[in-house]
Structure 1
Amino acid sequence: MTPTMLTGHQGHPIAASIEGGEQAFPVVLAHGGGQTRRAWKAVSKLLASHGFRAIAIDMRGHGDSSWATDGAYDIRDFASDLVAIAQASARKPALIGASLGGLAGIIAEGELSRDSFASLTLVDITPQMEPEGVARVVGFMAAHAREGFASPEEAAHIISQYLPHRPSRKASPGLQRYLRLGENGRYYWHWDPAFIEGVMQARITDVELIDRRRATLSAAASQLRLPVHLIRGGSSDLVSPEAVAHFRSLVPHADYSDIAEATHMVVGDKNDAFGQAIVEFLVRTHGAEVAR
């Protein structure tokens, strides 16, 4: 499906898939690193069925959004795109951010431009991330960023090794939408390798930088005044119970949901339970506005 093109920071083209009526209450969905807007397909349909307008975006450098030719993949670059999208909306949107999208949401609302969003839902992400979990995610993304795969079947095999708790994934049309075919006949992830090489990989090996990032995110989180909902995967190796407690000390008014048997990939692991949790929060928080 041809995406709708939105405008991010400094005119950066951002691709989006939209479900729901034009006058419905808007909800922006920002995926995790290495994913695309298609990760929200089922969630978007669910939100639309409850009277929301789901706007699932490809973060810069991902999917059908433009790559940053200047390597602008700092968390504030992603956050600035979210602010630009929110400010262009006719109604202040809610934001649901998974992993990278959630980090960008914290910075967008807590540091760059407060009062940009009507609410913020964070999916398995807090300022205090477990280094081992981050290393596992980054290692998976970096391993084949440049060399790619000989076939979609090879990519499916690598994903199965990364997600052993899920049934083995076949080289389905759905999977192939996360890949792009290079001129050399090899398949590559549908995101810019510079994203992982220039930003995330450096951060997991620099203790001082990790501490500064945690401090920056914690400071931004402490400034969140809008309704907030933290959703954790019950089996997450990225967000520990201690990290949840730290976040709730910073944002004491936040709602909290724990999705049993879900890992960091909450949306893909337990989509039904996740969908129920976000709909309950959004309806409870924005029900009166949705009914307008």
Structure 2
Amino acid sequence: MRMVTIRTSTFPSHDGLPLAVDVRGTGAPALLFAHGFGQTRGAWNAAADALAARGCRCITFDSRGHGESGRVAGGDYHMDQFAGDLMALARVQPEPPILVGASMGGLLGLVLAGEARPAPFRALVLVDITPRWETAGVERILAFMQAYPDGFADYTEAAEQISAYLPQRRERKREEQLKPLLREGADGRLRWHWDPALLEDVVRESERYQPRLLAAAARVDVPVLLLSGERSDVVSRETVAEFLKLVPHARHVEVPAATHMLAGDANDAFTHEIARFIEDVFPGGAVRRPTIPQEVH
């Protein structure tokens, strides 16, 4: 395994908004990680460390309105802005990267892979997300995000609430792990790192995106790996089956015991499946595209 160093920088996106970016490794292939709604680039730390140690170059970033990246003036967020950020980061890479996208990040990657030509990614790894999702699971996530508008008195209180939300995790988050996720307000209370305006704007648009996502999926012509959690309440057998009909060349792996928070629940299995996918699809570094039928029924 190689030693992993992290280089942090600020990337000016397509409209000038600054995005916080970490790069690990200098090898190939390049993996561009796009986190889910309400997360930060820190969600990928363990996976990016492990894959960079295997020789990959791993790029993680905070989406606009999240973490250390800039916020949109007036809180006017739209899904196309997030897609533009992802496209801009992909296009500045020396070669098209492999997109590893969780939840919202995966949906953005799917749209770009299906609509943009040339495709900005050489392959897609979708992490527990399909173009159509289970509403109950998404509502559970949003309910947690909306549950603490006044924030937390301290890191201990925040850790307790996160543990209650993620009972499958054995270890409670420590203060140093929570600091990137919370901001201290003028009143001394700790609130989530994301712009509250995101809850209204992005959630409102997500349902309207589904027809576009389904159409884009049918046009994806790069290798695809769909990783789902056995205990996910966002992805189901029905949504997976629909996706595999739209993208018949896609590979699907269900990770045992994992929930929607797949990378955090089972990082070793998660990184193992990504490494195996890369080795199978790109032997010797050569990109091999699947054969796509002219019509998808």
User: TM-score, normalised on structure 1?
Assistant: 0.91
Q: Does 1:163 align with 2:159?
A: no
Q: Does 1:59 align with 2:55?
A: no
Q: Which amino acid aligns with 2:209?
A: R
- Structure 1 gaps of 5+ residues are 204-208
SS in 2 for 1:28: strand
Q: Does 1:119 align with 2:132?
A: no
Aligned to 1:264: 260
The 10-residue stretch of structure 1 (128-137 or 76-85) with the greater mean CA deviation from structure 2: 76-85
1:42 to 38, 42, 46: 46
The one-character-per-residue Cα deviations of 1:243-266 (angstroms, maximum 9, x if unpaired) are: 000000000000111001000000
Q: Does 1:187 align with 2:183?
A: no
Q: Which amino acid aligns with 1:17?
A: D
Query: 2: distance between equivalents of 1:68 and 1:214?
Result: 24
- The offset of 1:47, in angstroms, is 1.3
Query: 1: distance between equivalents of 2:91 and 2:117?
Result: 10
Query: 2: distance between equivalents of 1:2 and 1:18?
Result: 5
Q: Is the 2:75–2:195 contact (alpha carbons within 8 Å) kept by the matching residues of 1?
A: no
Q: Is the 2:30–2:98 contact (alpha carbons within 8 Å) kept by the matching residues of 1?
A: yes
Aligned to 1:142: 146
Identical counterparts, % of pairs? 44
SS in 2 for 1:180: strand
Report the CA distance shift for 1:67/1:35 in structure 2 as closer, same or farther (over 3 A): same
- The offset of 1:214, in angstroms, is 2.0
Query: 2: distance between equivalents of 1:178 and 1:171?
Result: 11
SS in 2 for 1:231: strand
1:4 to 6, 9, 23: 9
Query: 2: distance between equivalents of 1:49 and 1:64?
Result: 25
Q: Is the 2:134–2:234 contact (alpha carbons within 8 Å) kept by the matching residues of 1?
A: yes
Aligned to 1:94: 98
Aligned to 2:137: 133
Q: Does 1:244 align with 2:240?
A: yes
Q: Is the 1:96–1:122 contact (alpha carbons within 8 Å) kept by the matching residues of 2?
A: yes
Aligned to 1:82: 86
Q: Is the 2:7–2:24 contact (alpha carbons within 8 Å) kept by the matching residues of 1?
A: no
Q: Is the 1:12–1:66 contact (alpha carbons within 8 Å) kept by the matching residues of 2?
A: yes
- The offset of 1:284, in angstroms, is 2.0
User: TM-score, normalised on structure 2?
Assistant: 0.89
Aligned to 1:13: 18
SS in 2 for 1:177: helix
Q: Does 1:105 align with 2:109?
A: yes
Q: Which amino acid aligns with 2:126?
A: L
Number of residue pairs matched by the alignment: 282
RMSD: 1.9
- Structure 2 gaps of 5+ residues are 1-5, 287-297
Aligned to 2:210: 214
Q: Is the 1:76–1:108 contact (alpha carbons within 8 Å) kept by the matching residues of 2?
A: no
- The offset of 1:285, in angstroms, is 2.1
Aligned to 1:253: 249
